[in-house]
Amino acid sequence: MNIVLLKTKSVDVNITTQQSAVIKYAKHHGYSIDITEIEASELDENLENRKKFKGFLRSLNEGDTILIYDLWVFSKDIGELVKVFECLLKRDISTVICSSNSEITKDTTSLEVVSILSSFREKNLKAKKDLTQGRPKGRMSKSKFDVYRAKIISLLEEGISVSQIARILEVSRTSLKDYINSRGLKDLVQAKKSLLKESIKSKRAKNKISTEECTLIKENKGK
């Protein structure tokens, strides 16, 4: 199974850009998309505290492939990344890193893995240096709407307007709109819908090919 993993809380690349890049990469390299998952933990949060992400890792099966935009979808910390890949490679789970056109599988040598991680580390160090020379970006603060996050996303997926959601939750429409925009929730919903369409198209194409192959086999047997 091919799973796309998108990161919501990224100061670098928003979820829509991630989505577009992964879809483009998947189409170009012949990957079908079976399912999409969203990673919503903070960028600097320790793996031990990321219960949902660890649950996602445990849910994977041997032979699965994860498609991500960049390694920071897993973590920005090299030590954390090593732990993640130890978990994945033990179960023959591959990772495709679309932005760098690279892949880490059980057949990838340790030298190649180190090279990929080293390149990622250098890129992070350069980004941090650029930030210190420019205007610093603060960590996203908590909001009173965080407790409604899942509900808001669900209602947006149903096509409910922000005004209607505000009435349902009995909150200020302006404050709710600011929250939705700051968290990129509409982009998230759009990304999930778009990737779901891609998944459905891919499965239909597979079924069509399978049906055509069965028909061809029957015709050959008849001859």
d(CA 206, CA 81): 34
Amino acid 153: pLDDT: 85
Segments in the chain below pLDDT 70: 10-11, 125-141, 191-223
28 φψ region: left (φ > 0), alpha (ψ -120 to 50), beta (else): alpha
Amino acid 210: pLDDT: 53
Amino acid 204: pLDDT: 64
Domains along the chain?
A: 2-140 (3.40.50.1390)
Amino acid 135: pLDDT: 46
Task: Give just the sign of the alpha carbon dihedral 44, 54, 188, 171.
Answer: negative
Amino acid 164: pLDDT: 94
Amino acid 137: pLDDT: 47
d(CA 161, CA 129): 41
pTM of the entire predicted model? 0.62
Three-state SS at 94: strand
